[in-house]
Amino acid sequence: MLITNLRIPTPHPGEWPFTLSPVAHLVDGVELTAPVTFLVGENGSGKSTIVEAVADVCRINSEGGKAGTKYASRGPAATPLGEVLDVELTSLGLRLIHGPRLKRRGFFLRAETLFNLGNNVSGLYGYWEENLTEQSHGEGFFTVLERMVTGPGLYLMDEPEAALSFASCLRLLSLMDRVRGEGGQIICATHSPILASLPGAQILELDDHGIHTTEWDKLQVVDHWRRYLAKPEFYLRHALDQDAD
């Protein structure tokens, strides 16, 4: 483990993103108990906000990129939460995240900005040789994942399933399992019940009540998918009626 706790020292009432219940919950601190942690919740719940803040504190570009590089388009602590978040590091975490710049081990895969990153760093030393624009979306993701997410280090992911098929999500599960066995730590914001099913992973669900540890089969997103796949017409009736209005 590299990171064991996330917290903010004082409340910031009335200021975004501290008005989000999960972010406000960080005043009490959130313990990370496994090498892979999934943040699961609805759009706007604060998943990406928290992952971005961890990136800021760990000096990884919150728009995506590698630790210890000069790619960052913004400086450290560029997000409001990143400016105040306390990240509790183990001795290994201190060495791999805040050690000498060229020895830092960390990467933030952010789905929405990955190809902008690729346009800047593809072919550079320490990255990947392939041109992401010559690959499919999913192939490009795995080019990056397999090159940058390996061995001991901190790996942050924001909705990596965005470009992945069912089979590719299973492939990513295998990569996550391998990396945690190599001494890496992953914090992943996701909507995917496939990714969240990784055995032994910590699942933190974010909702209007804050952040709570839960089990895969108790996740709201898992329940919705089960119900939808069993009887899609129950959901479609409401969705299509709303569209018609």
In this predicted structure, the answer to whether residue 72 has a pLDDT above a threshold of 50 is no
Q: Report the percent of the chain where pLDDT is more than 70.
A: 95
Q: Is 202 exposed, middle or buried (0-12, 13-18, 19+ CB in 10 A)?
A: middle
In this predicted structure, the answer to whether residue 101 has a pLDDT above a threshold of 60 is yes
Mean pLDDT for all residues in the chain: 90
Q: What is the pTM of this model?
A: 0.92
Distance CA 108, CA 185 (A): 12
pLDDT band at 242 (very low <50, low <70, confident <90, very high): low
Per-residue pLDDT tens digits for 146-179: 889 999 999 999 999 988 999 999 999 999 999 9
Check residue 173 and give its pLDDT: 96
DSSP letter string over 100-119?
-GGG--EEEEEGGGHHHHHH
* Residues 88, 4 contacting (CB under 8 angstroms): yes
Range from 34-48, 138-152, 192-206 carrying the lowest mean pLDDT: 138-152
* CATH code of the region 3-214: 3.40.50
Give ranges for CATH 3.40.50 in the chain: 3-214
